[in-house]
């Protein structure tokens, strides 16, 4: 928690998204101070609330929401509205009319039948910033297809360059996460454009597009050479040595970024001759002779334990590090010094541990006001505050199945 000003404290966000890419985007905006209203289905809410085990525990020991849900929903307020009813849709339109931003990740065109698509909401708020997140975008032959992180990792080339013997997905839903990050950046750019008098706009974010962009140096290598990149395991396609190596008691990651570092690395391993060997002295030569050099490094590094090499390489100025599991990451002194994990209160469940937003702004840092909301926890509060509805009006809508909470 902080008393410092927030960059987006003047921004109201209506979040119609669920699962990960959309909620990740809106959590970034919420951390930066935006007032995010999460609109959920009364029948269970966000799908990820049930994606367990593990589950967060209520104070009485019963299961609360799945841990998965909690990673992307702090600092938000939750309302539950039945969009299958006209009254429910009208409430959401009324909320959109006083919102700066709407985020949604329904199938392409899926909200048009509800009158909650961009054109419909633009009619009630002319300068609305409306962000649609889909698998394949609003155009193209696959625009109507649903998108899932694993599917797009496969179709978008990521699995073709990941793994050893067979294609592998990354151990995290990185396409969803990067799409959320790109979407947050696009929303903030659109808000800046609006403030410059350019009006609102529709943002078309696609997981497939994001994954293509994330091919980065691998795509650049392909365009320059015409050669399709393959799987290299933990090795780097353009730098050698830049991978993990076995030691006598484990493995250690080493990143040698230039020829000067390589000379120091060779001396640290007791092989200064490598630095003058024409096969290895320059990075391009090391890439061309990767197999020979890596085999020789393995011979040397297998002779001693990981701690030995960590000490030797540290003193030689060679970037290196252990391959840590998740628990070791948050127990590391660096993680503790940076407060990467901390607790937030969750209604009915006490304190829960969350991971900090990595953006460190000195003037308007991320703020942490509340843990992930329980389903429909703020329905009455939001409708009273935003739309001036009385408790009797809200209770009538609850009784008719239009609202919960």
Give catalytic residues, as residue numbers: 176
H-helix or E-strand containing 352?
strand 350-355
Q: Where do the DSSP E strands lie in 135-208?
A: 201-206
Distances (CA, A) of 335 to 13, 228, 332, 354, 363: 31, 38, 5, 13, 22
Q: From the centroid of its chain, how far is CA 341? A: 16
Provide the Cα torsion 308, 309, 314, 317; round to 10°.
Answer: 150
Annotate 16-82 with three-state secondary structure: CCCCCHHHHHHHHHHHCCCEEEEEECCCCCCHHHHCCCCEEECCCCCEEEEHHHHCCCCCEEEEEEC
Identify the bridge partners of residue 251 per DSSP, sorted by sequence position.
246
User: Can you tell me whether residue 317 is helix, strand or coil?
Assistant: coil
Pairing relation of β-strands 55-57 and 63-66? antiparallel
Task: Report which of 27, 11, 159, 26 is spatially closest to residue 99, judged by C-alpha positions.
Answer: 11
Q: Which residues, including other chains, have CB under 8 Å from residue 301's CB and lie 6 or more apart?
A: 245, 246, 247, 252, 269, 309
CA–CA gap between residue 265 and residue 269 (Å, rounded): 6
User: Residue 180 has which token pair?
Assistant: 């959320």
> DSSP assignment of 111-146, as one string?
TGGGT-SHHHHHHH-TT-EEEEEESS-SSSTTTTS-
- Apex CA 183: angle with CA 153 and CA 190, to 5°? 155
Stated length of the chain: 405
CA–CA gap between residue 211 and residue 341 (Å, rounded): 28
CA–CA gap between residue 104 and residue 25 (Å, rounded): 10
């Amino acid at each position: 928690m902080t008393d410092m000003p927030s960059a987006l404290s003047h921004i109201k966000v209506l979040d119609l998204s669920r699962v990960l890419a959309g909620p990740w985007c809106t959590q970034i905006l919420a951390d930066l101070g935006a007032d995010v209203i999460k609109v959920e289905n009364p029948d269970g809410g966000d799908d990820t609330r049930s994606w367990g085990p593990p589950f967060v525990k209520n104070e009485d020991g019963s299961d609360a929401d799945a841990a998965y849900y909690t990673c992307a929903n702090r600092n938000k307020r939750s309302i539950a509205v039945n969009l299958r009813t006209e009254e429910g849709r009208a409430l959401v339109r009324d909320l959109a009319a006083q919102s700066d931003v709407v985020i949604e990740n329904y199938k392409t065109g899926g909200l048009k039948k509800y009158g909650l698509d961009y054109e419909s909401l633009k009619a009630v708020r002319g300068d609305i910033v409306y962000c649609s997140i889909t698998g394949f975008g609003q155009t193209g032959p696959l625009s109507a297809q649903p998108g899932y992180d694993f599917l797009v990792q496969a179709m978008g080339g990521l699995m073709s360059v990941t793994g050893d013997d067979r294609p592998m997905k990354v151990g995290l839903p990185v396409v969803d996460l990067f799409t959320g990050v790109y979407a947050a950046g696009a929303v903030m750019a659109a808000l800046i454009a609006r403030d410059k008098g350019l009006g609102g706009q529709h943002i078309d974010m696609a997981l497939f597009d994001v994954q293509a962009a994330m091919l980065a140096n691998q795509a650049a290598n392909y365009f320059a050479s015409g050669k399709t990149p393959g799987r290299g395991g933990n090795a780097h396609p353009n730098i050698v040595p830049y991978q993990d190596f076995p030691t006598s008691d484990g493995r250690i990651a080493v990143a040698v970024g230039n020829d000067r570092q390589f000379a120091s690395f060779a001396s640290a391993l007791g092989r200064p001759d490598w630095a003058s060997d024409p096969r290895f002295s320059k990075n391009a030569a090391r890439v061309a002779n990767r197999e020979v050099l890596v085999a020789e490094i393995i011979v040397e590094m297998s002779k001693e334990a990981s701690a030995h090499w960590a000490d030797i390489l540290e003193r030689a100025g060679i970037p290196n590090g252990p391959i840590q599991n998740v628990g070791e990451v948050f127990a590391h002194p660096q993680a503790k010094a940076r407060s990467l994990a901390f607790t937030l209160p969750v209604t009915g469940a006490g304190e829960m541990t969350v991971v900090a937003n990595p953006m460190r702004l000195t003037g308007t840092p991320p703020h942490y006001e509340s843990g992930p909301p329980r389903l429909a926890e703020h329905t009455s509060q939001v409708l009273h505050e935003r739309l001036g509805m009385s408790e009797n009006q809200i209770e009538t809508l609850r009784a008719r199945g239009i609202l919960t909470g």
